[in-house]
Amino acid sequence: MLLNGKTAIVTGSNRGIGKAVIELFARQGCALYACARKPSDAFSAHLEALRAETGARIEPVYFDLADAEQVKAGIRQINAAKEPIHILVNNAGAIATAPFMMTSEVVMRSMFDVNFLAQISLAQVIARGMARQKSGSIINISSSAAIEGNEGRTAYAAAKGALLTATKVMARELGPANVRVNAVAPGLTQTDMMTGSTQAESINATIARTALRRVGDPAEIAAAILFLASDLSSYMTGQVLRVDGGM
C-alpha span between 134 and 172 (Å, rounded): 15
CB of 241 closer than 8 Å to CB of 224: yes
Closest CA to 137 of 12, 1, 231: 231
The CA-CA-CA angle for residues 53, 58, 61, to 5°, reads 145
CB of 70 closer than 8 Å to CB of 64: yes
What are the CA-CA distances from residue 123 to residues 41, 137, 174 (Å)?
29, 10, 11
C-alpha span between 240 and 182 (Å, rounded): 6
Give the helix, strand, coil percentages of the chain, each rounded to 5: 50, 15, 30
Q: Which of 33, 62, 156, 235 is an active site residue? A: 156
Q: What DSSP line would sit under 72-140, residue for residue?
A: HHHHHHHHTT-----EEEE-------B-GGG--HHHHHHHHIIIIIHHHHHHHHHHHHHHHHT-EEEEE
Q: Is 33 a catalytic residue?
A: no
Q: Which residues are tagged catalytic?
A: 156
